[in-house]
Structure 1
Amino acid sequence: MGQKIDEIDRRILGLLQRDATLTVDELSEQVALSRNACWRRIKAMEEAGVIRGRVVLADPAKVGCPLEVIVQLRTNSHDPAWLDRFAATIRAMPEVVGAYRMTGDLDYLLRVRVADMPAYDTFYKRVIARIPVSDMSASFVMEEIKETTALPL
C-alpha cells in the first residue's frame, strides 16, 4: 500500500481519529463500503504504518496532571554522547508527553504534564541533575484553546 491513501481511506482515518471505538460495521456503513472491504483497508493501513495504533485519551485533570508546561531547552553540547543521554533521559520521564528537536535559537521543546508547581520543580531538578543544559525555561499553559491528536486529512 505504501503511503498512498485514497479518499475512502481518508474518510476511514478521519472517523477513526475522532472515535477509535467505532466498529468495522459502523465504519463501513459511514463510508459506504462492505464490511470486508472496510476491514481490509484498515488492516492494510495498519500494516503500512499509516495507522500506528489506537489509544484512549485520558483527561489530564482527572488523572492528576492538570498543569501543562512548555519547556524550552538550550545546550552548548551537541556531541553524540550528550544527544544519546538526553534522549534516553527524556524518554524515561513519564511527565514528558512530547519532545522535539528544533531549528533556530531553541534546541529542544518539551511538553510536560504535572500535578502542580511543586511537581514541576521536582521535574526541573531531575532534568538538570541528569543532563547538562545551558538554559531551561518554562511557560505554563493558562488556557487550552485547541488540543487534538487528529491530523488534517
Structure 2
Amino acid sequence: MRTLAWDDFRTKETGELASVYTLTQRALELMGAQGQGRIVHVSSTVADGPPAPGMAAHGTAKAALNTFARIVAHEARPLGVNVNVVAPGYVRTESSARIPQEFQRRLAENTPLGRVAEPEDMARAIVMLLGEEAAFVTGEVLTVDSGYGLARR
C-alpha cells in the first residue's frame, strides 16, 4: 500500500466499477422489460482481506463490487431481477500459473477439499445462481473457495 500511487489506485477502482456499473445498468433495462432476470457478478475473496501484501486496490474494488451488488439486488426487486455475486478464492488459470508450485501445493493442503479450484468450479457456482433452484436467492455473496476462508471467520 505504501508504494501504491493514488492514480494507480484510482485507476483500478474506476476500471473495475465502471464496467460493472455500465453492464448492470444495461442488464437491468433489458431484464426489467422482461419482468425477470438473473445477474451474477464475479468478485474475489480478497474483498474480505488480503492473502498477501499488494492487494489494496484489488481488494477494495471487489469489496465495493460486493456492496454494489447487494444494493442493486434490493433496488432490482420490483423488476423481478435477482443479483448475486460469486467470490472465488484461488483458481487455477493461465494467469495464476506463474504462482510458485510450492505455494499452490500449500494452498491445496490447507483447503478442506484438498485441492485448489478450477475454472469449472466457478462456472458451476454461477450456473447454480442462474438456475431456478436459486430463484429465492438475491443479494448474496457466495464464497467459492473450498472452505479455505473458514479460518478467516
TM-score by length of 2: 0.20
Higher helix share: 2
